[in-house]
């Protein structure tokens, strides 16, 4: 165990985006499966990044910051998975560009009380051809919808997995991630068998 | 409308006096454009020694990064643990890479992960 490393072997890292509107449970899901944190990283929004809309209310500020919570799962010594919770509002779409590049795929978290808030981010991933699944977080007391009802309401293709989850529960959150990776694996296998 | 009491910033609660852009001389774009939030970096032997010396060629944030990266670390984790914006970390890391103080591995950004990587991730998640 020397303290010097002349030629370090660095692990490969992959990332999954957990996207959705404020309060939908992104950080909860990340925390349920992550071995750390969740931790928070910030990016500075300059005027150029924000566009023309939403600086009202920030008054004299010319820059502001956007925070992303993230977690980590060590798959193997040489392979690490990162999960990034990403804000779902359109004014943060410049962030999605950086996050989506090279991403394994995305989980769009939805809340049946606010399904309309998911349209923007779904449109974005469809346009970019980023593979995604929709996870309906059923953490609140209320009517539980069937996944097929949610699929219809969101106008999703039959091939896109929709599942219900409880982001507070580790097994449930694991199942969401496994569903996404399975979905991506099928797409990366042109000769793959139908599910 | 001046409120000197509220705007006075030379007290203990003022937060950082040096703004992030000042640490990096006003630069906002890293010269190493391949750096991503999940790029993994580690201090090289010479980087570790340079941080121990903490000589004038390194600003304090660069020293903190080098000391933090004695094990492999992602850009996102450096940002979170050292409380620096991710963009600032990338600019600082770019300098350190050019000085051979940091070794880095960045993901392929033009493609999805390879099939065998996906399978490994799947098995890893199932085994959690």
- pLDDT by residue (tens digit) across A65-110? 788 999 999 999 999 999 999 887 777 777 888 888 889 999 999 9
For helices B60-68 and B75-82, give the axis angle rounded to 10 degrees.
120
Q: How many CB pairs lie under 8 A apart between chains A and B?
A: 138
In a domain, B55, yes or no: yes
Query: For residues A139 and A168, is the Cβ–Cβ distance under 8 A?
Result: yes
Burial of A44 (0-12, 13-18, 19+ CB in 10 A): middle
Q: A162: which strand partners?
A: A134
Residues of A with Cβ-Cβ distance to B128 under 8 angstroms: 33, 73, 170, 174
Q: Is B123 inside a domain boundary?
A: no
pLDDT confidence of residue B56: 84
The two structure tokens encoding residue A9: 């072997």
Confidence (pLDDT) at A63 = 62
Residue B3 lies in a domain: no
3-class SS of residue A90? helix
What's the pLDDT score for residue A26? Answer: 94
| B121 occurs within a structural domain | no
CB A8 within 8 A of CB A96: no
**Is the Cβ of A41 closer than 8 Å to some Cβ of chain B?**
yes
Tell me whether residue B93 is in a domain.
yes
DSSP state of A92: G
The CA dihedral of B29, B35, B38, B41, to the nearest 10 degrees, is -120
DSSP-derived 3-state class of residue B47: helix
How far are the Cα atoms of A4, A14, A166, A167 from residue A17, in angstroms, in the given order? 35, 10, 17, 15
How many angstroms separate the CA of residue B11 from the nearest CA in chain A? 21
**Gap between the Cα atoms of B63 and B55, Å rounded:** 9
pLDDT of residue B29: 80
Tell me the three-class secondary structure of A101-162, residue by residue.
CCCCEEEEEECHHHHHHHHHHHHHHHHHCCCEEEEEECCCCCCCCCHHHHHHHHCCCCCCCE
Residue B116 lies in a domain: no
Low-confidence ranges of chain A (pLDDT < 70): 1-8, 45-64, 140-143, 189-195
CB contact under 8 A, B36 and A102: yes
The interface predicted TM-score (ipTM) is 0.83
The residue to which tokens 């090289």 are assigned:
B44
Angle ∠(A194,A147,A143) on CA atoms, nearest 5: 165
The pLDDT assigned to A6 comes to 44
In a domain, B36, yes or no: yes
Q: Do A185 and B115 touch (CB under 8 A)?
A: yes
Top residue of A102, A176, A191 to mutate, by most chain B CBs within 10 Å, is A102
Domains, chain A, in order of start with CATH, read: 12-34+72-187 (3.40.50.300)
Which residues in chain B have Cβ-Cβ distances shorter than 8 Å to A178?
122, 125-126
Enter the tokens of residue A53: 């809309």
Structure confidence at residue B90 (pLDDT)? 95
The number of domains in chain B is 1
Q: Can you give the residue range of the structural domain that contains B26?
A: 18-107
Classify B22 in phi/psi space as left (phi over 0), alpha (psi -120 to 50) or beta: alpha
- The stretches in chain B having pLDDT less than 50 are 1-15
Asked whether the beta carbons of A108 and A80 are under 8 A apart, the reply is: no
In a domain, B5, yes or no: no
CB spacing of B80 vs A40 below 8 angstroms: yes
Token reading at A155: 């106008």
φ, ψ of residue A84 in degrees (nearest 5): -115, 120
């Amino acid at each position: 165990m020397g303290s010097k490393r002349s030629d370090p072997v660095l692990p490969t890292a992959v990332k999954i985006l957990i996207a959705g509107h404020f309060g939908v449970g992104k950080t909860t899901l990340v925390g349920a499966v992550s071995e750390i944190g969740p931790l928070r990283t910030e990016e500075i929004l300059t005027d150029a990044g924000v566009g023309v809309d939403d600086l009202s209310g920030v008054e004299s500020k010319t820059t502001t910051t956007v925070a992303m919570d993230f977690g980590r799962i060590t798959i193997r010594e040489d392979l690490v998975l990162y999960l990034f919770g990403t804000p779902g509002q359109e004014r943060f779409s410049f962030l999605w560009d950086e996050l989506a590049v090279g991403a394994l795929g995305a989980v769009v978290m939805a809340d049946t009380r606010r399904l309309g808030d998911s349209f923007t981010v779904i449109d974005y991933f469809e346009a970019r051809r980023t593979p995604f699944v929709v996870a309906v977080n059923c953490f609140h007391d209320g009517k539980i919808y069937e996944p097929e009802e949610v699929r219809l309401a969101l106008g999703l293709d039959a091939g896109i997995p929709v599942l219900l989850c409880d982001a507070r529960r580790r097994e449930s959150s694991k199942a969401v991630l496994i569903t996404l990776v399975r979905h991506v694996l099928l797409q990366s296998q042109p000769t793959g068998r139908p599910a | 409308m001046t409120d000197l009491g509220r705007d006075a910033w030379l007290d203990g609660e003022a937060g950082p006096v040096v703004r992030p852009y000042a640490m990096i001389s006003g630069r906002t774009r890293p010269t190493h454009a391949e750096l991503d939030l999940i790029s993994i970096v580690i201090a090289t032997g010479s980087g570790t020694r340079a941080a121990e010396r903490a000589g004038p060629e390194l600003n304090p944030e660069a020293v903190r990064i080098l000391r933090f990266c004695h094990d492999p670390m992602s850009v996102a984790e450096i940002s979170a643990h050292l409380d620096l914006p991710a963009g600032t970390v990338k600019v600082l890391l770019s300098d350190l890479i050019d000085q051979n103080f940091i070794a880095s591995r960045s993901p392929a950004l033009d493609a999805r992960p390879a099939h065998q990587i996906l399978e490994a991730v799947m098995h890893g998640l199932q085994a959690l």
